[in-house]
């Protein structure tokens, strides 16, 4: 039986409830413990101001690079499963959350399904994604915008405040 193709994906991790830094670390560990996912690189943790809804606690965010044999849909299901295991309740867009896992990129694929769009929409406006992504993959080229992460970060129209809090990832 031929070996399944290996894919590279980037996943954003964020939390602003209970122990946000611990939640991000736990989510990274859950990803790495999954039998079909391997974390190959991870950014530092960053404290970031909320996006879309400002009247809430600041977030802790990071980005991990993973290798996987899973399809984008199955990787998405794995992420949702980790969120559920960690107690995520989806009741308010951009509201507080115990954990949030978003697939940013999957190889250089561009696709859209009912509940999954890759690359993740809005990356070019989100400092809390671009800053940690820049730390681990500054030369990665956004497959729709055809610009590197470094260029997107330099061109962000309204940057949010992002502060590195840990580099022991």
> Among 10-14, 81-85, 90-94, 127-131, where is mean pLDDT lowest?
90-94
Catalytic residues: 88, 97, 100, 102
- Distance (Å, rounded) from C-alpha 54 to C-alpha 5? 41
Mean pLDDT in residue range 1-21? 89
Of 46, 54, 53, nearest in space to 15 by CA: 46
Number of neighbours of residue 141 by Cβ within 10 angstroms = 15
Domains and CATH numbers, the chain: 7-166 (3.30.70.560)
Do you find a cis peptide bond into 119, omega within 30 degrees of 0?
yes
Mean pLDDT in residue range 48-71? 90
- Per-residue pLDDT reduced to its tens digit, 120-156: 999 999 999 999 999 999 999 999 999 999 999 999 9
Of 159, 90, 95, nearest in space to 128 by CA: 159
Model confidence at 32: pLDDT above 60 = yes
């Amino acid at each position: 039986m031929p070996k399944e193709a290996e894919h590279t994906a980037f996943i954003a991790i964020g939390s602003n409830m209970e122990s946000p830094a611990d939640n991000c670390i736990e989510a990274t560990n859950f990803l790495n413990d999954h039998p079909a996912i391997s974390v190959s690189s991870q950014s530092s943790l960053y404290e970031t101001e909320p996006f879309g809804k400002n009247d809430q606690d600041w977030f802790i965010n990071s980005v991990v690079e993973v290798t996987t044999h899973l399809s984008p849909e199955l990787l998405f299901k794995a992420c949702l499963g980790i969120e559920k295991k960690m107690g995520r309740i989806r009741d308010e867009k951009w509201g507080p959350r115990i954990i949030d896992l978003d697939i940013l990129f999957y190889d250089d694929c561009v696709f859209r399904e009912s509940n999954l769009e890759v690359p993740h929409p809005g990356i070019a406006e989100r400092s809390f994604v671009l800053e940690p992504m820049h730390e681990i993959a500054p030369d990665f080229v956004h497959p729709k915008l055809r610009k590197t992460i470094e260029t997107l970060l330099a061109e962000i129209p309204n940057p949010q405040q992002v502060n590195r809090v840990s580099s022991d990832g």
